[in-house]
Chains A and B, each alone.
Chain A
Amino acid sequence: MTPFTLHHGIAAPLLRDNIDTDTIIPSREMRTVSRSGLADGLFAPWRYSNADARVADPDFVLNQASYKGASIVLTGLNFGCGSSREHAVWAMMEWGVKVVIAPSFATIFRNNALRNGLLTIELERDRIQRLARWVSTDPQANQLIVNLQACSILSEAGGEKDVFKIDPMARLMLIEGLDEIGLTEQSLNLIEDFENRDQLRRPWVYLNDPR
């Protein structure tokens, strides 16, 4: 996983609550058995006025020239709710999103994001609205600097700083770009110890391998 320390980019406001993963990437847009080829289907229901013909809807924020190159999404409560599809995270990252800032995230989405190096930041709704107002006056100029070391969001020209909180383990994993499976494999002896103890306690849990 690519380590995440600092990101400087254009932010796009998508200030709706409860944006679900079916909207982020509809089932019909997940066409291949892989983690890629998904960017084209990102936000398809909103991004296209005709999804089949890929006719862009000019009203959708990510289609607007002023937000071209956006890599930070400012959004509403409970972002990423619904289906557990990790494709939502893969689609956002493939499209170029590096950071999502919301008052809260759905747990599975947040976990999926963390495991792929997409930074999710929880910030109060009024602070997000303030950031959105500021970036929307000139999105290309009014960029945000997200610093994971310092846990801060700097509104570049505005000079204002928002400090955010993040789980220390999540922060470490992102900064170091850690492979979680590799990390857990270091605890393999503990897992085996657990199984040996647990087989005495809950023998019915351990099925025989028929082969």
Chain B
Amino acid sequence: MTLFDKLWEEHEVEALSERQSLLYVDRIFLHERTGSVALNSLLEHGRSVRQRQHAFCTMDHIVDTRPGRSDDTLMPSGRDFIVATRSAAHETGIQLFDIQDPNQGIVHVISPELGIALPGLSVICPDSHTCTLGGLGVLAWGVGSTEAEHALATSTLRVTRPKTMRVQFVGRMAKHVTAKDLILYTIRSLSASGGAGYAIEFAGPAIKALPIESRLTLCNMATELSAFTGLIAPDEQVIDYCEGRPFAPQGAAWEAACRHWQTLQSDTDARFDCEHQIDIESLKPQLTWGTSPQHCIDWDGEIPRAGEAPDEATAVSWQQAQAYMGVAAGHRLSDYRLDAAFIGSCTNSRLSDLREVADYLTQTGHRVAQGVKALCVPGSGGVKRAAEAEGIDAVFRQAGFEWREPGCSMCFFAGGESLGEGVRVASTTNRNFEGRQGLGVRTHLGSPLSVVASACAGHLLADLSP
């Protein structure tokens, strides 16, 4: 059996048809953008949260991230979402990590941090990046508001069983290559729809060696492959990570949980519906040039020519993307000046990400280039406090970065904040869609290292090699 099969069976309440089952949902996490709609609808239908101690809510999607924030946002109606969510959370009795709560932060950053997401649990959230938690061996997937409401009311969801895929990484990652490069390269290789209909297990020696926060980064973008979810088998490193977290079990329950988690891996004879092997020995840092995460090249590669496209539809999509991005086929990304740099989001806003950037700034002594607006938005109150205790905030500030309060922020225009039309931004986020970071904004995705190097060079990716 595969890890996914084991998790599926463990949560199956009832087989509804050949391919659909009623699955038990262990934890539900909401946020103020779509959670408020789900909670309000639940209340309007006269229903309640069936297991309120298993449901949580944070403020991340709309809340302002500028220092000294309140319920107000640049988007005039942002306040309505915040107030409605607070009131619905109180009425239903679910735990809310409100704006002033020390643990407030991006949902997929705080749920592992607080031990709300634990290996083997099923966790849903009305957010497509819920698959992030797969990095801990959590069966986690994103849903819409109606499904969130279903889970709140019944502690279950009706789920069509995906097929299983294993992506094995072979070879060692070179210095300066990160989990972000690994997942961007995977999307580039398999395409933005390459994981459609699959639950993907990431495996191989490179994964075993990957620190937990990097595993979260990797699984975060499984949704960019259109996969149902991404997963990594929990190991000793995961168990160490979870121990002592506020919502993690203690004592005998902890011991029992650890024993169980050790069984959560694919059997050696497990059969997957699909297998891929990706050699990462010579992998270089990856950057996107277009408007889909699959529009990705080596940092020093050439932007592809429509004539090289495998088919007509791809050629047209490349041309459309190049027109939007204001880049030309055959050029390199280093040909383009940068206007902004963003470090944050559920992909890359954890302590290890911020440390990596701070180390780069300290070691090189570089500062953000003139004319580049640079922001760092820590993923949670916990990340922010830990970074400040290490003096990381000072390193960022001295280098010319703004240092913000936790939230999703400019990943998608949260709270109505934007960079401006035509602005070219290097971003540690997960989506480079047209208009994602604001109308007309041109987003290039990359690792925290790539983004900081670009910000300091003033153009896309300076050479990271020593």
Contact = CB atoms under 8 A, between A and B. Distances in A.
Interface of A: 15-18, 20, 22-23, 26-28, 30-35, 45, 51, 76-78, 81-87, 89, 104, 106-108, 111-112, 115-116, 125, 167-169, 180-181, 183-185, 187-188, 190-191, 194-195, 198, 202-205, 207-211
B228 interface: yes
A82 B128 contact: yes
A16 B320 contact: yes
Given A23-B435, A27-B414, A204-B254, A116 B146 contact: yes
Given A82-B433, A204-B253, A190 B128 contact: no
A169 B16 contact: yes
Contact of A31 (B13, B75, B154, B294): B75
Contacts, number: 185
Contacts of A78: 192-193, 196, 226
A67 B438 CA distance: 29
B156 A191 contact: yes
A191 B24 contact: yes
A90 to B, nearest CB: 9
Considering the complex of A and B, which 10 residue pairs feature the smallest CB-CB distances, nearest first?
Answer: A86-B144, A204-B249, A112-B144, A78-B193, A84-B128, A115-B146, A209-B53, A84-B142, A204-B253, A204-B257
B424 interface: no
Contacts of A181: 45, 47, 149-150, 153-154
A108 B435 contact: no
B126 interface: yes
Given A22-B431, A45-B434, A169-B17, 9 more contacts: A17-B313, A26-B435, A31-B75, A181-B154, A184-B150, A184-B153, A204-B257, A207-B53, A208-B53
Nearest to A209: B53
Contacts of A85: 33-34, 144
26 contacts: A17-B313, A22-B431, A27-B33, A28-B418, A31-B75, A31-B77, A33-B81, A45-B434, A45-B439, A83-B431, A84-B34, A84-B126, A89-B144, A104-B196, A108-B142, A111-B147, A115-B144, A169-B16, A180-B150, A180-B158, A181-B47, A181-B149, A188-B154, A191-B13, A204-B118, A204-B253
Contact of A22 (B17, B142, B313, B412): B412
Contact of A16 (B317, B412, B413, B435): B317
Given A16-B317, A85-B144, A187 B53 contact: no
B155 interface: yes
B19 to A, nearest CB: 7
A184 to B, nearest CB: 5
Contacts of B313: 15, 17, 76-77, 125
A4 to B, nearest CB: 16
Interface of B: 10, 13-14, 16-17, 19-20, 22, 24, 26, 33-34, 36-37, 40-41, 45, 47, 51-54, 75, 77, 80-81, 84, 93, 118, 120-121, 126-128, 142-147, 149-150, 153-156, 158, 160, 162, 192-193, 196-197, 223, 226, 228, 247, 249, 253-254, 256-257, 260, 292, 294, 313-314, 316-317, 320, 412-414, 416, 418, 431, 433-436, 438-439
A183 B14 CA distance: 13
A115 B147 CA distance: 8
Given A17-B317, A203-B256, A184 B197 contact: no
Nearest to B121: A205
B13 to A, nearest CB: 4
Contacts of A86: 34, 37, 126, 144-146
Nearest to A80: B226
Nearest to A107: B228
Contacts of B253: 203-204
Contacts of B436: 20, 22
B37 A34 contact: yes
B144 A194 contact: no
A93 to B, nearest CB: 12
B192 to A, nearest CB: 5
A84 B127 contact: yes
A20 B431 contact: yes
A154 B82 CA distance: 47
B412 A107 contact: no
Contacts of B154: 181, 184-185, 187-188, 191
Contact of B14 (A33, A187, A204): A187
Nearest to A113: B144
A195 B51 CA distance: 11
Contacts of B433: 20, 22-23, 82
Given A32-B77, A107-B226, A202-B260, A184 B158 contact: yes
A106 B141 CA distance: 13
Contacts of A207: 53-54, 247
B329 to A, nearest CB: 18
B256 A190 contact: no
Contacts of A33: 36-37, 40, 80-81, 84
A113 to B, nearest CB: 9
Contacts of B439: 26, 28, 45, 51
Nearest to A35: B37
Nearest to A86: B144
A81 B192 contact: yes
A76 B192 CA distance: 13
Contacts of B434: 22-23, 45
A207 B158 CA distance: 23
Nearest to A15: B313
Contacts of A205: 26, 121
Contacts of B13: 187, 190-191, 194
A27 B413 contact: yes
Contacts of B75: 28, 31
Contacts of A204: 118, 249, 253-254, 256-257
Given A28-B413, A82-B128, A115-B147, A184 B53 contact: no
A30 B127 CA distance: 15
Contacts of B34: 84-87
A81 B191 CA distance: 12
Contacts of A198: 24
